[in-house]
Chain A
């Protein structure tokens, strides 16, 4: 009885998926490689609270569901000094589809015809540059080599 109430009243189902990026080593393409002093922000917005001067090999980025394009900036610094800052920008284009989830979760968006372009800053390469659909967060969507 109570499990039924909880399922109804609290949103526990997956909702709009985020774009998951995984960073790999260009020299050894099977190895994850941390990005040091990484900060990420969408064009024209503040830095994401979870990705502010962090060292990680995996990030998840929300896409703007009100638009068909989201642009993200990635800043890294090997030493932490401003002089060593390196930048890379990626542009993600997509279409959205709205799907009903449940009473408490409402509707989510999933993304179709996703294309990704990079301005080739500190990203050596990435794969793939297009995805048919992003509808889950079970694994990384894009591998980035640096």
Chain B
């Protein structure tokens, strides 16, 4: 047993010796503007008639591990509940930082990152139809189908992001990220509630939300460092 441990240690030492010897070869990685699109939103739009939207993503590398990142888009979403049907529609933007925690081998440029965003949206919400919850089926309420639209609603929130990016071809990346959102401020329509915010998605009772995206993005390299 001891023999194996010793030979293993010898192996490690010889490897570290090797890598020291190779340290003179410096691998560079690109610094530049990476632009992309969330492909999950058009796909969701095709399979779910209540959902349509688009999201563009961008990041800019500012140091070895830090990126300034942003997402920008618009979303229209119909929310169908037992007693109400409503539609939210509007634009959103999120800006923040990503920290790449992944130690790349050689000249690879992959990322496993954590991030933080500030997000905001300006949107309209329409109460398309509703019926009064009478609490009985003896007198069932008529359904009101006169849409009531509240314009210029807004929301502000923070997001924590976990994600990966993999370089598939030179400068072309596939990415997946998941985020958890906490609402900072949210405007509600009169005598109703904001049930969905573009960019924030469904507003849960605790004023939190979840989201994810699948992205294809391309880096326009400015310099290699």
Interface residues, chain A, CB within 8 Å of chain B?
Answer: 4-5, 7-8, 11, 15-16, 18, 42, 45, 48, 62-66, 70, 98-109
| Residue among B82, B139, B191 with most chain A CB within 10 A | B139
* Complex contacts, B142 vs chain A, CB 8 Å: 66
6 extra A-B contacts, CB within 8 A, seeds A16-B135, A99-B191: A7-B205, A42-B138, A66-B141, A70-B139, A100-B192, A106-B130
A-B CB contacts (within 8 Å), total count: 79
Interface residues, chain B, CB within 8 Å of chain A?
Answer: 81-84, 130-136, 138-139, 141-142, 191-193, 195, 204-206, 208
Beta-carbon contact of A100 and B191 below 8 Å: yes
* Complex contacts, A15 vs chain B, CB 8 Å: 133-135
A79 to chain B, nearest CB (A): 28
The residue of chain B having its C-beta at the shortest distance from the C-beta of A60 within the complex is: B136
The majority secondary structure among interface residues of chain B is loop
Beta-carbon contact of B139 and A11 below 8 Å: no
Q: Which of B133, B204, B206 contacts A107 (CB 8 A)?
A: B133
Q: Which of B131, B138, B208 contacts A62 (CB 8 A)?
A: B138
- Interchain residue pairs with CB less than 8 A apart (6): A4-B206, A16-B132, A45-B138, A66-B142, A102-B193, A103-B81
